[in-house]
């Protein structure tokens, strides 16, 4: 503050010329105060580091994520008062205390104040509660320092992005008919379809075996004809087509949704994917919703690897709460993305009338289509789908998606 410095110097000069020691002392105090304030303004935030560490960037609904916040004063100048404001998505929730309100829309603040000696480093431990499915973002951190007189001296904002995803919970799938497979088809000990990747050895040649099934090397070694043996394919590829729209009507673009139904659909989708993959089938996901990219539709190709369930759960966690396109458009697009013969498993909580024609077209094109209805009107919706010649089942999460211990499927 140059003005206060000039005033302090003037007081010293006037006091010295007038022989007034008190005036000189006041001038010295003004100069000292000005110098100290300048010192913290220029040096207060230098060599101050802020670190934020998330224990994981993935969580399942109901879990907690460890959060460590560290401030390090790496200089000789102590800090009597330092405030850090860490901006995060407004729906984030901290176990230790409520997050402060922010002047920025859609964000809240993790606010902390510190007193740091020279070269002191302090870490505080918090826990983020995964109370809602979605993507949560830390954006920037603002640091403010005050001088020894508790007056604001300096402020700076630093970009510090970080993201964590809360996936929907999944529960075991239970069926009222014990002799039914995951999609409602009866289990068989043998299959008409064989997966060439599931080579299981050789067996004696049987009349009618095609020439390509003969194992020529083993035949030459054993001195008798033998054929290749494969494990039967229990299921073909399954695409789980999720209907994100939860309110009736053609206006999918309206940003309105039934929160309970939407979360129930996500829990049901995660549970079905887990069950399908657990039964050894390849599973994929399709949904007409945004998932953190500019793409209007989400598509996870079918797979059966160890990370497939995590990949599907990630996309379910990132799904927007409103549809990005009509569900019938999603179903129509699958004919151009999914291999012929793959099963399309539709999951919806709405009246099937708008998308039944698309389901029938898929069925006529050689895609086995099955429907799972969810919600308070699931029984009536399933009957309408069956009346159109497409197999349908009813799914229920009782008493609700937060506390249900199983997804019950009834024919």
pLDDT value of position 340: 83
At 297, list the tokens. 């539709």
341 φ/ψ angles, rounded to the nearest 5 degrees = 90, -10
- DSSP annotation of 152 reads E
Question: Does the pLDDT of residue 84 top 80, yes or no?
Answer: yes
Confidence of residue 279 (pLDDT cuts 50, 70, 90): confident
Better-predicted residue by pLDDT, 63 or 179: 63
**How far, in Å, are 42, 211, 239, 244, 253 from residue 388 at the CA level?**
75, 42, 21, 22, 27
What band does 178 get if pLDDT is binned at 50, 70 and 90?
A: low
Beta bridge partners, 230, equal 199
Read off the pTM: 0.78
Give the CA-trace dihedral at 360, 362, 366, 370, to 10 degrees. Answer: -70
What pLDDT digit, counting tens, does each position of 89-125 carry?
A: 999 999 999 999 998 999 999 999 999 999 999 999 9
List pLDDT tens digits, range 232-252: 444 478 999 999 999 887 777
- Would the pLDDT of 260 be above 50? yes
Residue with tokens 């009866």: 186
pLDDT digits (tens, 9 = 90+) for 17-59: 666 666 655 655 655 566 556 655 667 788 999 999 999 999 9
The whole-number pLDDT of residue 194 equals 47
State how beta strands 194-204 and 226-232 pair.
antiparallel
Cβ neighbours of 192 (radius 10 Å)? 7
* Beta carbons of 289 and 324 less than 8 angstroms apart: yes
Mean of per-residue pLDDT scores for the chain: 84
For the segment 301-338, what is each residue's pLDDT rounded down to a tens digit? 998 877 899 999 999 999 999 898 999 999 999 998 88
Contacts of 207 (CB under 8 A, 6+ apart): none
Spell out the residues 6+ positions from residue 266 whose beta carbon is closer than 8 angstroms to its own.
133, 168, 242, 316, 319
For residue 124, give the nearest of 136, 135, 114 by alpha carbon.
114
pLDDT above 90 for 346: yes
pLDDT at 2 over 90: no
Whether 259 shows a pLDDT value over 90: the answer reads: yes
| pLDDT (0 to 100) of residue 184 | 42
Per-residue confidence (pLDDT) for residue 33, from 0 to 100: 60
Task: Output the pLDDT for position 361.
Answer: 95
Closest Cα to residue 157, out of 183, 139, 175?
Answer: 139
Report how far apart, in Å, the C-alpha atoms of 53 and of each of 47, 56, 124, 138, 357 are.
Answer: 19, 9, 11, 11, 50
Instruction: Provide CATH code, domain 48-167.
Output: 2.60.40.10
Domain ranges of the chain: 48-167, 173-186+235-410, 194-232
Higher pLDDT, residue 148 or 121: 121
Is the predicted pLDDT of residue 64 greater than 50, yes or no?
Answer: yes
- Tell me yes or no: is domain 173-186+235-410 CATH 3.40.50.410: yes
Secondary structure (DSSP) of 312-378 = HHHHHHH--SS-SS-HHHHHHHHTTTSPTT-EEEEEESS-STTTHHHHHHHHHTT--EEEEEESTTH
């Amino acid at each position: 503050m140059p003005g206060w410095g000039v005033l302090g110097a003037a007081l010293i000069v006037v006091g010295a010329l007038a022989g007034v020691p008190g005036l000189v002392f006041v001038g010295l105090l003004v100069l000292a105060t000005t110098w100290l304030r300048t010192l913290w303004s220029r040096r207060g935030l230098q060599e101050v580091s802020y670190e934020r560490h998330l224990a994981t960037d993935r969580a399942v609904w109901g879990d907690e994520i460890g959060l460590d916040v560290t401030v390090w004063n790496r200089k000789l100048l102590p800090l009597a008062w330092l405030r850090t404001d860490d901006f995060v998505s407004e729906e984030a929730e901290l176990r230790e205390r409520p997050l402060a309100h922010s002047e920025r829309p859609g964000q809240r603040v993790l606010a902390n104040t510190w007193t740091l000696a020279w070269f002191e480093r302090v870490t505080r431990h918090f826990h983020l509660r995964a109370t809602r499915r979605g993507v949560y973002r830390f954006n920037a951190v603002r640091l403010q320092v005050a001088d020894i007189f508790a007056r604001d001296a300096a402020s700076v904002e630093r970009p510090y992005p970080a993201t964590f995803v809360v996936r929907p919970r999944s529960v075991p799938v239970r069926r009222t008919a014990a002799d039914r497979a995951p999609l409602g088809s009866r289990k068989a000990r043998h299959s008409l379809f064989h997966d060439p990747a599931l080579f299981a050895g050789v067996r004696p040649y049987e009349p009618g075996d095609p020439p390509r099934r003969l194992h020529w090397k083993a035949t030459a070694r054993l001195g008798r004809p033998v054929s290749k043996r494969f494990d039967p394919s229990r299921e073909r590829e399954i695409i789980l087509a999720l209907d994100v729209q939860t309110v009736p009507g053609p206006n999918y673009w309206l940003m309105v949704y039934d929160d309970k139904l939407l979360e129930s659909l996500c829990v049901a989708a995660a549970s079905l994917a887990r069950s399908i993959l657990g039964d050894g089938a390849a599973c994929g996901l399709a949904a007409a919703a945004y998932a953190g990219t500019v793409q209007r539709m989400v598509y996870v190709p079918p797979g059966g690897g160890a990370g497939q369930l995590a990949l599907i759960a990630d996309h379910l966690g990132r799904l927007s709460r409103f549809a990005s396109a009509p569900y019938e458009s999603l179903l129509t697009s699958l004919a151009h993305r999914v291999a012929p013969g793959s099963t399309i498993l539709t999951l919806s909580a709405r009246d099937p009338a708008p998308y039944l024609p698309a389901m029938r077209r898929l069925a006529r094109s050689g895609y086995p289509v099955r429907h799972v209805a969810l919600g308070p009107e699931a029984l009536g919706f399933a009957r309408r789908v069956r009346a159109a010649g497409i197999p349908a089942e009813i799914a229920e999460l009782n008493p609700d998606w937060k506390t249900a211990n199983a997804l019950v499927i009834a024919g």
